[in-house]
Amino acid sequence: MFLLHRHIGKKITVRAPGRINIIGEHTDYNGGLALPAATHLALMMEMESVRDPSWSIQALDPGEHFQLLLHTKNESSYHWVGFFRAMHSYAEEHQLPIGGLKIRFNSTIPIGAGMSSSSALTSALVAGMNHLFGWNKAPLSLIRIASRVEHGYGVQGGLLDQMSIFLSKENQALYLDFSNDSFHYLPMKTPGYSWVVWDSLERRQLVNSPYNQRRKAVENVLQDLHAPHWQAVSATEINNVKGISKEVRMMCHFILEENNRVRLAAKCLKEENIVGLGELLKASHAGLRDQYRVSSPGLDRLAGHLNSQKSCMGARMMGGGFGGMVLSLIKTQSLPELLYGIRQLPEFKRGSGRLHYPVHIGNGLTIEEQN
């Protein structure tokens, strides 16, 4: 570990947005397709390089502070400290120059909601260290580093969140192809309609969920097929695989069907086909619920209620699943009425907290140097 003297005292502010994923869930780590976009909700991280050989880290929202000594294994009950430890371990393992830091961060991204709050944290940290310590890594390299840091904390996700955070543009959706990590942009034109994210009130934590089990199960089938990714597999080939359960076979079919929904959703966006886009959202939720089996009772009740309303064109669970948020496309003028109706549902009736987040499609990660 070393730090060049010219970097000491340098201050930056990193903004890392949360994201919605319009469609294409659990496809990133399967070499599939996805259609995410960054939102105006974001994590802000102030970083300053210092001589002291430690990281002084403050989480401003909960008012938590931790001093991470770089050569010790000091423990903390704060869950977010694990991401900083994983970042430090990665940098040392790969002999990247690091040094002392003062870090303060806060966020408007709902925690545990499927809007990549954890990825925003790790992406901001990776991008900030690259800037402060002169790593000179290109965006795609930083994206992979941020993903590896999350893997070090136990979440075996793909690159969807990190690519969304680093590469997004205002009022654009990202069409991502994870078979070769290519991407292009599509205009997000939905006049008269709004993207709204709803809280199921079921908190999720992917580290302790069957998320990693789902990934391993479909990866084993792909290996048996000797295919590079799921876009190179047909439904017939899945049906001909021997020795797998009905549940795993359904999971594999979901991946193929979800990839096709991404292709169709891109076409709907280009044509401003709101009805068609809404139907794809509904079909995606049904597949995540019945085939990939990553939904939850709260997500199903909320998505089911929204999909029964005329003002909602379509809704589906979003993110890794097992709790979190539901994404919907609704008539903008009907939002107050829709919110009132959800407040009447038993699980929401007594609550006074925030239940919905209308989202604006924003820019990707930015870094601002401080004087």
Q: Are 39 and 360 in contact (CB under 8 A)?
A: yes
Catalytic annotation, pick one of 28, 61, 161, 300: 161
Give the residue from 140, 161, 144, 173 showing the smallest Cα distance to 16. 161
Task: Report the alpha-carbon distance of residue 123 to residue 143 in Å, rounded.
Answer: 7
Q: Are 89 and 154 in contact (CB under 8 A)?
A: no
Structural tokens at position 83:
């991401």
CA-CA distances (angstroms) from residue 353 to 64, 198, 311, 324, 349? 22, 12, 23, 15, 11
Task: Report the alpha-carbon distance of residue 100 to residue 354 in Å, rounded.
Answer: 37
Give the residue from 14, 9, 325 showing the smallest Cα distance to 165. 14
Task: Report the alpha-carbon distance of residue 288 to residue 29 in Å, rounded.
Answer: 15
SS3 category, 17: strand
Structural tokens at position 161:
């969140």
Helix (H) or strand (E) run with residue 12 in it: strand 11-23
Give the residue from 15, 23, 325 showing the smallest Cα distance to 174. 23
What is the gyration radius of the CA atoms in the chain, in angstroms? 21
Spell 264-301 as b/e; 16+ CB within 10 A means b: bbbebbeeeebebbbbbbbbbbbbbbebbbbbbebbbb
Task: Report the alpha-carbon distance of residue 280 to residue 261 in Å, rounded.
Answer: 6
Q: Are 329 and 361 in contact (CB under 8 A)?
A: no
Task: Report the alpha-carbon distance of residue 92 to residue 90 in Å, rounded.
Answer: 6
Q: Is 52 a catalytic residue?
A: no
Active centre residues (catalytic): 161
